[in-house]
Structure 1
Amino acid sequence: MNGGGGRIGEMDAGALEGGAAALAAAYRPVVIRGLAARWPLVAAAREGTGALSSYLLGFDRGAEVEAFWAAPGAGRRFFYAADMRGFNFERRRGPLSGLLRYLEGIEAAAEPPAVYAGALETARLLPGLAEANPLPAAEAMGGVPRIWIGNASIVSTHFDASDNIAVVAAGRRRFTLFPPDQIHNLYAGPLDHTMAGQPASMVDLAAPDLDRYPRFAEAMAHAVSAELEPGDAIFIPALWWHHVEALSPVNVLVNYWWVDSPDMAARFDAMVYAATTIGPLPPERRAAWQAMFDTFVFRKHGDPAEHLAPEHRGVLGTPTPRLRDYVRQYLLRGLQRP
């Protein structure tokens, strides 16, 4: 299925000189053309796969990588196995040099397997790479550079809990994004049995089964997309669902996730616990809890503790390290109750 709601908005690289905080505040995806056009990594990739491999291996210190490997019959898409008990790919470990040689060896194959190693911290795998290819706007937000290396492949529609700037360093990539409010039309898979951490949509974007997933047509009406060349970057806000296609025989991407608070990792856990404890209730009781959440969580009616003095606001007070530690202990006591 092609099309959707339109194209992702764009901005020039120079507009990001003030930092990435404005991007996060706007909470909309945006493509930044040419943001990393001057990276030596991008220059090496333009010379060909051999030059790209040589450049990367100049920083290699022998650390192993884990790669996903999917047979040609998987259609380049990393996904669940037919029985949903496992996945349609294998996990293989080895040195980075071996992965790069393998990609070079299958670069010209008519129907190669799909391969990628992703989310690898450059500080561990390729020390010095980030310093040679800096991205000050993301680094100023606390973004830790990670590298993704593979061939033509598809990462199924998913979301990340963090804001993200992703830079295409080699090859081309197509991004299709869905706003968070389309989650009910995306038919999310299991929340606790996932391919790489976050749940993914069950719908195959290339050939959606609208008889089985009829609401997906509405999601596509709200989708936005863009194709990126080497040196281009994209900002993906947290909780925006995104489908990523690596289009070239060899692709490299460097991305930067950053956290907006120490509580970020616990938000999804909180949602899962609420889903298991409140979701099964009868409708009228769910509605009563919805009123609670609207008041205390989503603050639909303003600050729920404004009538209390600061020293009496307890868990509704301004988050501090001390309050976060208190809340963790409070929750642990509750979870231990029979």
Structure 2
Amino acid sequence: MRAIREIEGVDRDRFAREILPSGRPAVLRGLAAEWPAVRAAARPGGVAGYLAAFGAGSACEMIVGPPAIEGRLFYDADMTGLNFTREPGSLGQLLSRLADAALASAPPTLAVQSLDARASLPGFAEENGIDLIDPAIGPRLWIGNRVVVATHQDMMENIAVVVAGRRRFTLFPPEQAGNLAIGPLEFTPAGTPVSLVDAEAPDLARFPRFAAALAQAETAELAPGDAIFIPYMWWHHVRSLDAFNLLANYWWSTTPPAQPGLAPIDALVHARLAIGDLPERQRAAWRAMFELAVFDGDCAHIPPARRGIRGAMTEAAKARLRRQLGQLMAR
């Protein structure tokens, strides 16, 4: 696998002008080296105390897995359930259990994922922030021990900052989706579809197409203070390497707001229902039409007033189409 490109000394202008438009991942070494939380992480147990000072009683949902899963949050053996449970708790309880687990020879898997820092730990975001994006975008915190998150993607731009512990990221371009053996869309470990392949020990006999994905993979190991930019819908596998890990990530969208009630994933589901059971010859014909009407966008040969859904539509025209779609789906 290739190393993810590394960029130092990034400011907001360079990020907006060069890195974000490239649509390529980038490691931003030392971006958060001066964060108080990162400095606290350099002291044994320091970051746990630092977090607790902001709100040890903050409620959170804890992920708990048995030692046997060795940190890999995934499906159970027959994919009828998951290999971990979710328990109500508090940040203080999680920190205490992580401290105990660090001393165990076969520790359980423990984590809190996507904790809204501003809501749960008031003051954390103000002391620890980045100036590359809109300051209104707040961090979400990911706290745990040696957790392994299966290859997945997010429909957002993402800057992830490693605060404590080390993390290894393995990324795949969006176009590798067909080679990643993606699991169910409706039943997932954490809300987004995941690859069924163990990216660190792939069974290429069972998943031979994954070899092509590996040929396009990029990887990097990040230390406290380092950050990574993960572009929109890039697939990423993440392994936390230490007994205590803390990551702060920033999600945001650079795309126009979706039509009310019409997110891209909804269009995907609708298309699957409408086209998925057609004969292959008909599916091939519709594949060409989708390429033409949705992805190509070239309709310069049509007078602007006659381009319909392929051209620029007024908000009134979009609203009319939404009503028509609603009536069709209600039949």
Classify the TM-score, shorter chain: over 0.9
Paired residue secondary structure (1:271): helix
The unaligned stretches of length 5 or more in structure 1 are none
**What is the CA-CA distance between 1:195 and the residue it aligns to?**
0.8
Paired residue secondary structure (1:227): strand
Paired residue secondary structure (1:59): helix
Gap change, CA 1:303 and 1:162, over 3 Å in 2: farther
Alignment of 1:101-180 (within 5 A): 101-139=96-134, 143-180=137-174
1:151–1:249 CA contact under 8 A, matched in 2: yes
Partner AA of 2:291 in structure 1: D
Taking structure 1 as the reference length, what is the TM-score of the superposition? 0.90
Pair 1:8-2:13 in alignment:
no
Partner AA of 1:139 in structure 2: D
1:30 pairs with one of 22, 26, 32: 26
- Give distance in 1, aligned partners of 2:300 and 2:328: 22
Q: Percentage identity across aligned positions?
A: 45
Paired residue secondary structure (1:47): coil
> Residue in 2 aligned with 1:84?
79
> Residue in 1 aligned with 2:291?
294
Alignment of 1:1-338 (within 5 A): 4=1, 6-20=2-16, 22-49=18-45, 51-60=46-55, 62-139=57-134, 143-260=137-254, 261-263=256-258, 266-299=263-296, 302-303=298-299, 307-309=303-305, 315-318=309-312, 325-337=319-331
**What is the CA-CA distance between 1:304 and the residue it aligns to?**
6.7
1:315–1:327 CA contact under 8 A, matched in 2: no
Partner AA of 2:296 in structure 1: R
- Give distance in 2, aligned partners of 1:232 and 1:321: 43
- Give distance in 2, aligned partners of 1:132 and 1:45: 14
Partner AA of 1:280 in structure 2: D
Gap change, CA 1:323 and 1:132, over 3 Å in 2: farther
Deviations 1:179-207 (A, max 9, x none): 11211111000011011111000011232
Paired residue secondary structure (1:174): strand
**What is the CA-CA distance between 1:327 and the residue it aligns to?**
4.3
2:65–2:83 CA contact under 8 A, matched in 1: yes
Gap change, CA 1:202 and 1:106, over 3 Å in 2: same
**What is the CA-CA distance between 1:37 and the residue it aligns to?**
0.5
Gap change, CA 1:98 and 1:323, over 3 Å in 2: farther
Q: State the number of aligned residues.
A: 328
2:31–2:225 CA contact under 8 A, matched in 1: yes
Taking structure 2 as the reference length, what is the TM-score of the superposition? 0.92
RMSD: 2.1
